[in-house]
Amino acid sequence: MTPLFSSIFAASLLVIQTGGAGDFTSVRPIEGYKCFRVYIPEERRFDRSAVPPVFAAPTEASKLIGHSGGAAFVKWPLNDVDGFVEIIWGGRGIKAWIHKDVLRPWRTKWTPPGPASECVPTLMSNGMIGIGNAIPYKHQ
């Protein structure tokens, strides 16, 4: 998979996770969370069963509440419990847990440099959480 196609695919997963595009704007960053990419092996990118599960507690025995998108908003500093890390998940920002081994740094060698390519967990004007970037917050 080419880096460009991989980036487009990841962006489409982000739109799915954050509820799609619409008429809303970034309000403020969500303090105490950091963006990570969710890793899915390249050969399984279109296999829905490969999308990592999200749990209500740090154990697979807990309730499965859904599946991750292309990004995870990870509690920072990291809250690691038995191989799971705390995240906020879904458009409403539900506290959840994901296996830490599926997380990768947000920036990669293919990420263009600069603040526009940064991922900032953000409260949006529609009350949902989403991905902002560093640009709107530089002047506040």
Q: Could you tell me which residue, 100 or 138, shows the higher pLDDT?
A: 100
pLDDT value, residue 133:
66
pLDDT value, residue 22:
61
pLDDT value, residue 119:
85
**Residue 83 CB neighbour total at 10 angstroms:** 12
pLDDT tens digit string along 101-116? 999 988 766 666 666 5
131, pLDDT greater than 70: yes
The DSSP call for residue 135 is G
Range of weakest confidence among 18-22, 43-47, 96-100: 18-22
Q: Which of 68, 86, 87 minimizes the C-alpha distance to 10?
A: 68
Residue type at 98 in one-letter notation? I
pLDDT tens digit string along 76-101? 999 999 999 999 999 999 999 999 99
Prediction pTM value: 0.75
